[in-house]
Amino acid sequence: MKKVFYPLAALAAIAVTAGPGSVVAESAAPTAFQATLNPVPTNHVNGSGTASLQINGAQTQVTIHTMGLLNAPHAMHVHIDGQGKCPDESFAKTHNGQKAISATDGATAYGEIMVALTTTGDTGPDSAFALDRMASGDPINYSRTITFDAHTISAIQGGKAVIVVHGTDYSGSGKYDNALGASEDAPHLPQTATAPALCGVLTAAAVSPSPSAPVDTTTSGQGITINNPSSSGSSSNSTLSVAALSVACASLGFSVATGIAVWNLLRRANRQP
Ligand SMILES: [Cu+2]
């Protein structure tokens, strides 16, 4: 964890510059998201699942659990920039004489593939249906920390990100067969392997699924040492930190309001790009 040491003189200078009038209540964007994964209609899916995302700066931990799907590899993606929803039955078309929703059919609802949730290596759209690097089996318990770009994080925070788990045993044969013909999305695969099985829209989690250690604000000699809040993985500990800062301020002769203003400035100054 990165630590930044601020001598008292610098702190005092900032305090004078900021003044107690510039206390800003931060409304940090949410960093914890979750989705309930429901069967995609018409695709003959009986499974279920959950997904959770924890954004820590550029690194996002993705956790997905499924059960009841075919015991086979399942392509899993973060889709963005569609309607921010899962396809309903009206998205179904006829595939090899069968009514079903292909990956392409659902794209208007859930958007394009932005992140391929592989187990190793590349996570870009080129790996969308790299089934040899996808989670496999039943149940699936997937967890990986992946670098998301700013556009993806923005889409997630804007409610336009959807988790889709692909691969359905449409005919009940126990394997990916040709019941729906060849895939429109990866022609070397059967459509059953690429059709969406489970889908869920990511929404801000009510409670962080993985609370991290509180931001550590402690007096240290004549200065204050503040652990970089963004690298601690959570912005949900502000109250505790302010309380700690109050004690620190009191011992250093600052008003709490001044301390909060300075603390907010330091948080911004410390924030990772
Ligand atoms: Cu997908």
The strand pair at 48-56 and 217-220 is best described as unpaired
Distance between Cα 164 and ligand 1 center (Å): 5
Distance between Cα 234 and ligand 1 center (Å): 28
For the chain, what is the mean pLDDT? 78
Cα end-to-end span (Å), the chain: 16
Residue 252 in this model has a pLDDT that exceeds 80:
no
Task: Please give the torsion angle defined by the CA atoms of residues 123, 128, 133 and 136, in that order, rounded to the nearest 10 degrees.
Answer: 120
Of 39-53, 58-72, 229-243, which range is least confident?
229-243
At 213, is the pLDDT very low, low, confident or very high (cuts 50, 70, 90)?
very low
Domains of the chain in sequence order = 3-27+211-270 (no CATH), 32-204 (2.60.40)
Distance between Cα 241 and ligand 1 center (Å): 40
- How many CA atoms, within 13 angstroms, populate the side-chain half-sphere of residue 235? 16
91-149 per-position pLDDT tens digit: 999 999 999 999 999 999 999 999 999 999 999 999 999 999 999 999 999 999 999 99
Distance between Cα 210 and ligand 1 center (Å): 26
pLDDT for 69 = 98
Distance between Cα 98 and ligand 1 center (Å): 21
Core vs surface per residue 239-259: b (16+ CB within 10 A) or e: eebbebbbebbeebebebebb
160-197 per-position pLDDT tens digit: 999 999 999 999 999 999 999 999 999 999 999 999 99
Q: How far apart are CA 61 and CA 54, in angstroms?
A: 5
Name residue 26's amino acid: E
pLDDT for 71 = 97
Tokens of 139: 């149940």
* Region 35-45 average pLDDT: 98
